[in-house]
Amino acid sequence: MAEVIRMPLLSDTMTEGVIAEWHKKVGDTVKSDDVIAEVETDKATMEVIGYVEGTLLYVGVEKGKAAKVNDIIAIVGKPGEDYKPLLEGGSAPANGQADTAPAKQDKAPAATPAQPAAANGEVKAAAEAALKDATVIRMPLLSDTMTEGKIVAWNKKVGDTVKSDDVLAEVETDKATMEVIGYADGELLYVGVKEGDAAKVNDIIAIVGKKGTNIDAILAAEQSGGAAAETPAAEQKPAAGSAPAAAPEAAPAAAANGGRVKASPLAKKLAEEKGIDISQVPGTGDGGRIVKRDIDSFVPGAKPAAAPAAAKAAAPAFVPAGQEGYTDTPLSQMRKVIARRLSESKFTAPHFYLKIDVNMDKAIEARKAINEVSPVKVSFNDMVIKAAAMALRQHPDVNSSWMGDFIRQHQHIHVGSAVAIEEGLIVPVIRFADQKTLSQIAGEAKELYDKAKNKKLQPQEFSGNTFSVSNLGMLGIDEFTAIINPPDSAILAVGNIKETVVSEKGQFKVVNIMKLTLSCDHRIVDGAVGARFLATLKGFLENPVTMLV
C-alpha cells in the first residue's frame, strides 16, 4: 500500500519548510534510508528521509516552494498504484501538486443559466450609459503604505454644485490628513462614506455628474464586480497627492483659467487673513492650483530675481545619475521565524537592562598564557561563556524560563552563543558549559560556528539553551542591548575591549574596559538578582584564575 511522506517538524520553532532540492523524481525507486529531499527550515537546510521503500509516485511541492509542517510532500508505493485516495483523505499539499490534480479541479464550472447572464449584461449596459453623464470619485492612494482612508470632513453635500478644482473631502491616511479633489464638474449625486468612517483604497466615495443620472446602476455594477463601474479613461484624473506627469511651472493661478482662481479653501482663507491678492500668487499645486505653501512663501511686490551678471557663471542644474528605486527581497524561513520570535519576546517579556564595566587587563594576560598550552585557540567570547556559566551556577534564578503559570528553574546550564549568518541570527548551544574547560568550550564553539555558517546544524545543536550570549565586540561595537532569546530569562550583550583612562587612588591610568549589558525578563529576574549575577560574572572575568579552580 502506498504511504505518504509529510513535511517533518525539524526544529522546535518550525512551522513550514521550503524544498531546497529533490533528490528523487516521480518514477524513481526509493529505499528506506534514501534522502529524498533537502528542506530549508528557519534554522538550517536539512535532509528528509522517507523511511519507506517503493517507487516515488507523487511529488506535492515544487523545488523552491514551501509546505507547512505535516503537509503531504510525496507518496511512495508500488508502480502504477492509485494514490489519489490518499490525497483526498489526507492533508492536501500546501503549494500545489507536481503531478496531475484530480480532473474535477481543472474543469470549468458548469454554464450558468442564461437569465442571470442577461441580467448582468443589463446592469453593465445601464452603468455604462450612466457613466457618460457622471464621474466616479474613488478613495485615492495618498501614500505608499496606505490601505484605507478615513473621511474626516465632507466639504460638499449631496445636491451641491461641484467644480473640477473643488476639494470634496478631507481624508486621514496613515501618514497625514489630505484633500481629495474630484476633478469633475456637476452636481454631487452620491456620498458613499459618512464622516468618521473609513473606505479602502479604490472604493467609491462619491459620484459627481448631471442631475437625474442613474447612480443606482453604477453602484449595482460596482457590487457585481463589473468593469462598467470604472470611470472611463478619458475622465480619470490623478488623485490629490499623486505625482503629476510633469511638474507645472509656477504661474499666477488666474492666468490660464479665464480669470478664475484655482486655490484650496485653506489657501483662500490664509490669503484673506494676510490681505494677499490671491490672483497674484503663483500656484505650485496640481494644474497650477494654489495651496497653503504658496501663500506661506508669497512675498507681495517681490520681483523675479535679476539674471546673474555676465561675469558670473550660473551653477549648472543638478541632474541625478539614476532614478529612484528599490529591491524587494522575499523573506527566508529563518528571517520569518526570527521576526516572529523576537517580536513575541520583546512585546511579551518586560525587558529591563543592567550595565557594568569589566577590567579585562588580567583576562588579556590569562588568555595569552592559556593559548600557549591550549590545543585550540581560546577567544574572549569563550571566556565570557565560561564565566557566565559559572555565574549561573551561583545564581540559578537567572537560569530559568517563564512557563506561563509557573517558573522553570533549570538544573543544567546550556549557553547559547549567537552567530550572524547570511540569513540572520542562529544560536548554537554549548551544553553543560559550566562543567567544560575553556579549551573544550573553544573547540566545541568553533565546530558549531562552522556548521552554522554552512547551514549544517542539527536541531539538538541549536535548541535547549537556558541562557544566551551575543557578542558584537569583534565588530567594534562598544555596547548595545540585546532582545532575550526565548525561552531564556536573560541575554548578555558583550561589547569590545577598549583602552580607557580611569582614576584610581588619585592616579590616572589606562586600563582595558569591556562593557556588558544584561537584558532581563522582569517576570523572572528582579533587579537585585540580575545585579548580583553581573557582579559574580565581573569577578570571574577580572580574575580568570578563579574559573580554573
| pLDDT average, residue stretch 194-215 | 91
Residue 308, domain member (yes or no): no
Range of the domain at 7: 3-88
Residue 281, domain member (yes or no): no
Instruction: Return the DSSP state at 40.
Output: E
Residue 263, domain member (yes or no): no
- In this structure, are 423 and 517 located in the same domain? yes
Residue 276: exposed, middle, or buried by beta-carbon count in 10 A (0-12, 13-18, 19+)? Answer: middle
What confidence score (pLDDT) does residue 143 get? 59
Residue 285, domain member (yes or no): no
What confidence score (pLDDT) does residue 385 get? 98
Gyration radius of the chain's alpha carbons: 35
Residues 6+ apart with CB under 8 A from 51: 32, 33
Residue 496, domain member (yes or no): yes
- In this structure, are 30 and 143 located in the same domain? no
| pLDDT average, residue stretch 42-53 | 79
What confidence score (pLDDT) does residue 223 get? 83
Q: Which three cell numbers stand for residue 227?
A: 468593469
Residue 279, domain member (yes or no): no
Q: Report how far residue 503's alpha carbon sits from residue 510's, in angstroms, rounded to the nearest whole number.
A: 9
Whether the per-residue pLDDT at 501 is higher than 70: the answer is yes
Tens digit of each residue's pLDDT (9 = 90 or more) over 397-412: 999 999 999 999 999 9
State yes or no: is 526 an active-site residue.
yes
- The residue ranking higher by pLDDT, 476 or 290, is 476
| pLDDT average, residue stretch 179-190 | 86
Q: Using an 8 Å Cβ cutoff, are 470 and 482 in contact?
A: yes
Whether the per-residue pLDDT at 89 is higher than 70: the answer is no
What confidence score (pLDDT) does residue 427 get? 93
- In this structure, are 82 and 130 located in the same domain? no
Residue 329, domain member (yes or no): no
What's the chain's average pLDDT? 82
What confidence score (pLDDT) does residue 165 get? 75
- In this structure, are 84 and 174 located in the same domain? no
Phi, psi of 259 (to 5 degrees): 90, -10
| pLDDT average, residue stretch 389-394 | 97
- In this structure, are 416 and 541 located in the same domain? yes
Q: Is the peptide bond before 487 cis (omega within 30 degrees of 0)?
A: yes
- In this structure, are 27 and 130 located in the same domain? no
What confidence score (pLDDT) does residue 286 get? 62
Tens digit of each residue's pLDDT (9 = 90 or more) over 329-358: 888 878 888 888 899 999 999 999 999 999
Tens digit of each residue's pLDDT (9 = 90 or more) over 216-267: 989 988 887 654 444 443 334 444 444 444 434 444 555 445 556 777 767 7
State yes or no: is 294 an active-site residue.
no
This prediction has a pTM of 0.55
Listed residues 210, 237, 259: the one ending a domain? 210
- In this structure, are 374 and 516 located in the same domain? yes
Listed residues 161, 184, 210: the one ending a domain? 210
For the chain, the domain total comes to: 3
C-alpha dist (Å) from residue 265 to 30, 155, 274: 76, 9, 14
Cα distance from N-terminal residue to C-terminal residue, the chain: 62
- In this structure, are 392 and 466 located in the same domain? yes
Q: Report how far residue 66's alpha carbon sits from residue 71's, in angstroms, rounded to the nearest whole number.
A: 10
Whether the per-residue pLDDT at 117 is higher than 80: the answer is no
Residue 118: exposed, middle, or buried by beta-carbon count in 10 A (0-12, 13-18, 19+)? Answer: exposed
Task: Enumerate the β-bridge partners of residue 75.
Answer: 4, 58
Whether the per-residue pLDDT at 432 is higher than 90: the answer is yes
What contacts 24+ positions apart, CB below 8 Å, involve 120-126? 120/224, 120/226, 123/217, 123/220, 123/221, 123/224, 123/226, 123/228, 124/221, 124/226, 124/227, 124/228, 125/228, 126/214, 126/217, 126/220, 126/221
Split at pLDDT 50, 70, 90, the class of 480 is very high
- In this structure, are 136 and 183 located in the same domain? yes
| pLDDT average, residue stretch 189-197 | 92
Whether the per-residue pLDDT at 378 is higher than 60: the answer is yes
Listed residues 210, 232, 265: the one ending a domain? 210
Residue 233, domain member (yes or no): no
What contacts 24+ positions apart, CB below 8 Å, involve 160-164? 160/187, 160/188, 161/186, 161/187, 161/188, 162/186, 162/187, 162/188, 162/208
Q: Report how far residue 125's alpha carbon sits from residue 224's, in angstroms, rounded to the nearest whole number.
A: 13
Helix (H) or strand (E) holding 130: helix 114-130
Q: What is the CATH number of the domain that holds 185?
A: 2.40.50.100
- In this structure, are 19 and 146 located in the same domain? no
Taking the mean position of all CA atoms in its chain, how far away is CA 315?
42
| pLDDT average, residue stretch 310-318 | 71
Which candidate in 160, 277, 296, 522 is catalytic? 522
Q: b/e per residue, 454-468, with b = 16+ CB within 10 A?
A: ebebebebbbebbbb
Whether the per-residue pLDDT at 146 is higher than 80: the answer is no
- In this structure, are 475 and 350 located in the same domain? yes
Split at pLDDT 50, 70, 90, the class of 104 is very low
- In this structure, are 80 and 132 located in the same domain? no
Highest-confidence segment of 12-16, 324-328, 392-396: 392-396
Q: What is the CATH number of the domain that holds 485?
A: 3.30.559.10
